[in-house]
Amino acid sequence: MYPMSKLTAAKQYECYLEVAALLKSISFNVIAISVDNATANRKFFTEYLCNGALQTHITDTTTGQPLFLIFDPVHGLKNVYNNFQSRKVFECPPMVRNLPDGCCARFHDIIDLYNLEAAMTLKKAHKLTIATLYPKSIEKTSVKLATSLLSESTRDALKFYAVHEDKASWTGTANFLTLMIKLWNIINVKTRTKGKHKRDYTMDPVRSSLDWKLEFLREFASFLQEWEDSKKPGLTRETFFALRHTCLSLAECASYLLDHLGFDYVLLGHLQSDAIESRFGWLRQLSGANYYISMRQVIEGNIKIRALSLLKYSGFSVNEIDDVIQSDASRKRNTTDLAEDALADSMAESLLHLRWPSSNDANVIFYVSGAMARSVVRITRCEHCKEELVSPDPLAPIEMDDAFDYGAATFLEDVNRGGLTRPNDYSFELAVNCWRVFETIKSSLALKAQLLAAECQRSLFVKIIDRVTDISNCGQLLVSENYCVRGHDLKLLLVQRLFNCFAKNAIKQLNTEANQGSRQPAKRRKIAKLSSSSHQ
């Protein structure tokens, strides 16, 4: 993959040499190169590979093997459709057996056909759409539009109306479609059994170098030459050139594979750029249907596609994989749960001598617990929660342990301008106890390390609080469970929020400590620099 803003033939030749060497190094045997009919591509083939005169193949100088040069047949077909749509009239010369009298094809016949059937519930030319007749410029690259025109249903409808509805002039257009459909059928065979399934001998694989289909391709190339030489309305010069070349290259390539490499049959539908084009389409879809995708999107898209492809060939269904992932996730959850329980047990046991908050600490705890209570109520939107957590009486003193003989509400009252929430005893007491546990963990190197290393610090902390406040477990701090009448787990909701607050500050502190080492020398350097400059 080469990121490129403007492709030139020279650049392409460089890429080709690199890719060819790479493919050789991994033992790939390259038979053909397929490009679309862009100017840079034609120049690359003609001037860089063929020294000025385009050949159907070049000879690899190291192996002596031919390398066939093909303009993607799918692009050729799209170009025929686009030429027909924009130029409106084709006047074809005769072609042996296939088009004995030549024909005149008019795009307007297709439009008339579409309009004739427009109001019908059932249409013969059911593949025709308004987009086929008036494609937007972006749609001109769509194979679907080309095949909706060059399809048997369109051709058969034209024939039908030519015979039964006084539209004899449509015969010429139908004959042209017949010829193009035959060409397309022959060069688009991708499976060995397509001809059998479709009951159409033109879709059989090529089984011998004497196959009539290869002869048809050569005849078609001469037909195109004659058509172009006639100067009558036809394809553009580029389309004539590329399509003619490709018919000859495909025929030669198939003969080579059958006669020299001993292939049993050749599927011409694989000698095109379809596979890589569809991969590009897939990558664009994965990038949000974006036409110009970045290298990064290509790489990420390829990873997704590979995973999907592995899945496809693994023989597993998506449901089976889903089950495995889910049972794996729940198993993992169970084991981490158990490990966390054990860790919480041991940490709770080692929590001895919990520190009391200072008066200053108590003030902040009071303030924060009010804010946390308010946050819980805001989330649950529940009057009962409010009753359980918030003090209705702004003047009620906080009744706490004897240890609290100072006014914990001072700070809140100081900063309060009427909007702050006063916690009730429960909220404050729980907050104080959480603070004490967190402080103790933070001041112990061993416990701090255990907390930091935990997979989910908050849920571990919640479990520790449960253990130290559990009466039946002889917990040292007695804070009851608290469910409001509607079932909100107020203790859990508060502890989680308090932990978030504590952790946020603790992390700030850790970051500051970690950065101190790197900041100090810089500061010194700066001072040294300043002082040295002051000496000058």
- Interacting residues with Zn ion between 32 and 71 (CB under 5 A): none
Whose Cβ is closer to Zn ion: residue 271's or residue 490's? 490
Smallest separation (angstroms) from Zn ion to the CB of 491? 12
Tell me how many residues contact Zn ion (CB under 5 A). 7
What is the distance between the alpha carbons of residues 510 and 379, in angstroms, rounded to a whole number?
30
Widest distance between CA atoms in the chain: 114
Whose Cβ is closer to Zn ion: residue 384's or residue 448's? 384
Whose Cβ is closer to Zn ion: residue 315's or residue 392's? 392
Whose Cβ is closer to Zn ion: residue 363's or residue 380's? 380
Q: Does 373 participate in binding Zn ion (rule CB under 5 A)?
A: no
Task: Return the residue of 97, 486, 519, 529 that touches Zn ion, per CB under 5 A.
Answer: 486
Contact window for Zn ion (CB under 5 A) among 78-86, 100-108, 373-381, 430-438: 373-381
Whose Cβ is closer to Zn ion: residue 198's or residue 486's? 486
48-55, Cβ contacts within 8 angstroms, sequence gap of 24 or more: 48/9, 48/10, 48/12, 48/13, 48/16, 49/13, 49/16, 54/245
Whose Cβ is closer to Zn ion: residue 384's or residue 442's? 384
Smallest separation (angstroms) from Zn ion to the CB of 427? 14
- Interacting residues with Zn ion between 130 and 149 (CB under 5 A): none
150: how many CB neighbours lie within 10 A of its CB?
23
Tokens of 290: 């974006």
Whose Cβ is closer to Zn ion: residue 268's or residue 484's? 484
Whose Cβ is closer to Zn ion: residue 390's or residue 409's? 390
Smallest separation (angstroms) from Zn ion to the CB of 380? 5
In DSSP terms, 71 is beta-bridged to 35
What is the distance between the alpha carbons of residues 515 and 506, in angstroms, rounded to a whole number?
14
Smallest separation (angstroms) from Zn ion to the CB of 378? 12
Smallest separation (angstroms) from Zn ion to the CB of 379? 10
Contact window for Zn ion (CB under 5 A) among 66-74, 160-168, 203-211, 385-393: 385-393
Chain position carrying tokens 């990873």: 303
Question: CA torsion angle for 196, 202, 205, 206 (degrees, to 10)?
Answer: 150
Q: Which residues contact 48 (CB under 8 A, 6 or more apart)?
A: 9, 10, 12, 13, 16
What is the distance between the alpha carbons of residues 268 and 76, in angstroms, rounded to a whole number?
14
Task: Return the residue of 279, 384, 442, 448 that touches Zn ion, per CB under 5 A.
Answer: 384
φ, ψ of residue 107 to 5 degrees: the values are -65, -30
Q: Of 176, 128, 134, 173, whose CA–CA distance to 149 is shortest?
A: 128
Taking phi over 0 as left and psi of -120 to 50 as alpha, with beta for the rest, 64 belongs to left
Query: How many CA atoms, within 13 angstroms, populate the side-chain half-sphere of residue 193?
Result: 1
Q: Are strands 66-71 and 32-35 parallel, antiparallel or unpaired?
A: parallel
Closest CB to Zn ion: residue number? 382
Q: Does 488 participate in binding Zn ion (rule CB under 5 A)?
A: yes
Smallest separation (angstroms) from Zn ion to the CB of 390? 12
Whose Cβ is closer to Zn ion: residue 123's or residue 384's? 384
- Interacting residues with Zn ion between 245 and 274 (CB under 5 A): none
**What's at 334, amino acid-wise?**
N
In DSSP terms, 91 is beta-bridged to 104
Contact window for Zn ion (CB under 5 A) among 21-29, 334-342, 485-493, 494-502: 485-493
In DSSP terms, 104 is beta-bridged to 91
Task: Return the residue of 69, 110, 382, 451 that touches Zn ion, per CB under 5 A.
Answer: 382
Contact window for Zn ion (CB under 5 A) among 279-287, 394-402, 482-490, 517-525: 482-490
Smallest separation (angstroms) from Zn ion to the CB of 381? 8
Q: Does 385 participate in binding Zn ion (rule CB under 5 A)?
A: yes
Q: Does 484 participate in binding Zn ion (rule CB under 5 A)?
A: yes
* Cα 199 to the center of its chain, rounded Å: 39
Burial 34-47 (b: 16+ CB within 10 A, else e): bbbbbebbbebbbe
Smallest separation (angstroms) from Zn ion to the CB of 479? 18
Q: Does 494 participate in binding Zn ion (rule CB under 5 A)?
A: no
SS3 415: helix
Q: Does 378 participate in binding Zn ion (rule CB under 5 A)?
A: no
Whose Cβ is closer to Zn ion: residue 386's or residue 467's? 386
Smallest separation (angstroms) from Zn ion to the CB of 142? 59
Tokens of 415: 């900063």
Smallest separation (angstroms) from Zn ion to the CB of 278? 56
Contact window for Zn ion (CB under 5 A) among 185-193, 375-383, 408-416, 459-467: 375-383
Element (H or E) spanning 32, and its range? strand 32-35
Q: Return the axis-axis angle of helices 237-259 and 73-87, rounded to nearest 10°.
A: 150
Whose Cβ is closer to Zn ion: residue 422's or residue 488's? 488
Smallest separation (angstroms) from Zn ion to the CB of 489? 9
Q: Does 127 participate in binding Zn ion (rule CB under 5 A)?
A: no
Taking phi over 0 as left and psi of -120 to 50 as alpha, with beta for the rest, 407 belongs to beta
DSSP 46: I
Contact footprint for Zn ion (CB under 5 A): 380, 382, 384-385, 484, 486, 488
